[in-house]
Amino acid sequence: MSHPTTTPPPPTPTFLKLSYPAPRVLLIRMDRPSSLNAMSTTAQWEMESIWKWLDSEPSLSVAIITGTGRAFSAGADLKEWNSSMADDSDPSKRMGNKPAFTPLSRRKGKKPVIAAVNGLAMGGGCEFVVNCDLVVASEDAVFGLPEVKRGVAPIGGALPRLIRTVGLQRASEFALLGEPISAQTAREWGIVNRVVAKERVVDEAVELARRIAENSPDAIICTRAGLRQGWESADVEVAVETTLDKEFAELQKGENILEGLKAFSEKRKPVWKSSRL
């Protein structure tokens, strides 16, 4: 489905395919199935540019990320990582340094992202999932942080986020053993929202995204900011005050809050404008 955007997205020639399955919804498909959608450094920069565009594009409210083939993502391209260790020309460009999965696993951003986990989500791919706002997983999806078995470590942001989601003991079991868990276990631990049949995983994510995107674009950004502040801050009141002073203050200056309240009074569906946040 085509979607009118204010500015065209950055080019995605090597790794990503973009589509628009519902109004205000962007579907991002990692498309390197022969390598289980493992991410090269080039692919990481490609994804980084897409997230920046998503947050700046007023016609979009929510994104979905999924994979092609039997994997969501196997994480870092370990073959490239191995090769890069022997290259002393520019250590900052080595796999494992920045962007080091900042494209998603350390992304804060403004707009929600739903993971549609269609299969294996290992290493950096699992770190992506941990930082998504909602997660839909296929029944055969598998999650793991096997880095300790490869002599490296999951340094893309998953470790502190896992503790906040599943607690220290479960996070330790998951990361220190390096052994995979099933979609059902991930749901029981709170990493996954819904487990569905494999053929339904993207459709289910699109349905959730569609329902989110029906709401006020300003309110979506403000509400997500409040959730994130609470998740990432040690102090509840600091989280609330930060969101009040920033996103909610901007929300109150916009047209959507007036439209939402007016539509409620008039018993009609609101007609939203692009977000001002």
* β-pair type (194-196, 71-73): unpaired
> What positions carry a catalytic annotation?
76, 124, 127, 147
Compare 206 and 233 and report the one with higher pLDDT.
206
* pLDDT bracket for residue 92 (50, 70, 90): low
With 90 as the cut, is the pLDDT of residue 39 above it?
no
Residue 240: burial class (beta carbons within 10 Å; 0-12, 13-18, 19+): middle
Q: Strands of 71-73's sheet, edge to edge?
A: 71-73, 120-122, 142-144, 181-182
pLDDT, position 102: 62
C-beta separation of 193 from 187 below 8 A: yes
Selection from 117, 127, 138 nearest residue 199 by Cα: 138
pLDDT, position 233: 83
Backbone angles phi, psi at 204, to 5 degrees: -65, -40
With 60 as the cut, is the pLDDT of residue 65 above it?
yes
pLDDT, position 193: 98
pLDDT, position 187: 98
Compare 69 and 77 and report the one with higher pLDDT.
69
pLDDT, position 40: 83
pLDDT digits (tens, 9 = 90+) for 156-174: 889 999 999 999 999 999 9
pLDDT, position 94: 55
Tokens found for residue 50: 């897409």
pLDDT digits (tens, 9 = 90+) for 215-264: 999 999 999 999 999 998 878 788 888 899 888 899 989 999 999 999 99
Average pLDDT, the chain: 89
* Owner of token pair 């370990």: 78
